[in-house]
Amino acid sequence: MSLSTDLHTRAWTIAAAVPDPELPVVTIEDLGILRDVVEYDQGHVHVRITPTYSGCPAMESIREDLVSALTEAGFLSVHVEFVMSPAWTTEWMTSEGRAKLEAYGIAPPPVGGPVELTLSVRCPRCGSPNTREISRFGSTSCKSLWSCNACREPFDHFKAI
């Protein structure tokens, strides 16, 4: 492995570990918003991220967290670029990220492409499909609020995009 590959791997590993500020149980890599990390010109890093929504309020916080993490690791300068195209999709989420969301009590989006109509979401607490949507928007705009008719617990569902 060459020195530049080692640096790229190190920069990627550090960036990938940055938690999402709204869902700290998952990292930006788990969510699939970390697109690329390039180390160039002796310690300078360029990071490309794609927001889950074009108006996602967490993006500035993620930018600051990336700059902080990479600077603390010894990189001299960090530039974070927001990449809007192609648009983020839940298909970019890792299986680990989906499992972390479910373990945290948030129903992950289904795998296999966009869903036009969600009639039921399996409860992340008891597993029952007997659920209902309470509100199209949950604690953040990328989630909806659901309730389980079996265990009576409310839960967030990460919307499929």
Please give the pLDDT value at position 61: 95
For 3-82, the fitting CATH number among 3.30.365.10, 1.10.510.10, 3.30.300.130, 3.40.50.970 is 3.30.300.130
**Does residue 15 register a pLDDT over 90?**
yes
Task: Output phi, psi for 135, to 5 deg.
Answer: -150, 140
% of the chain residues with pLDDT over 90: 62
Predicted local confidence at residue 54, as pLDDT = 79
What pLDDT score does 1 carry? 37
Mean pLDDT, the chain, rounded, equals: 88
pLDDT at site 31: 95
Q: How far is the C-alpha of 122 from the C-alpha of 44, rounded, in Å?
A: 45
**Per residue in 41-82, pLDDT tens?**
778 999 999 998 878 888 999 999 999 999 999 999 999 999
The share of the chain scoring above pLDDT 70, in percent, equals 90
**What pTM was estimated for this model as a whole?**
0.75
pLDDT at 35 over 80: yes
Element spanning 106, H or E: strand 106-107
More confident residue, 33 or 137: 33
Per-residue pLDDT at 146: 93
pLDDT of residue 118: 66
Backbone φ and ψ for 123, nearest 5 degrees, come out as -65, 125
* Residue 6, SS3 per DSSP: helix
- Domain ranges (residues) in the chain: 3-82, 104-158
Q: Is the pLDDT of residue 113 over 70?
A: no
Helices (H), 2-124: 3-16, 28-31, 59-72, 95-104
Q: What is the pLDDT of residue 3?
A: 40
Is residue 29 predicted with pLDDT exceeding 50?
yes
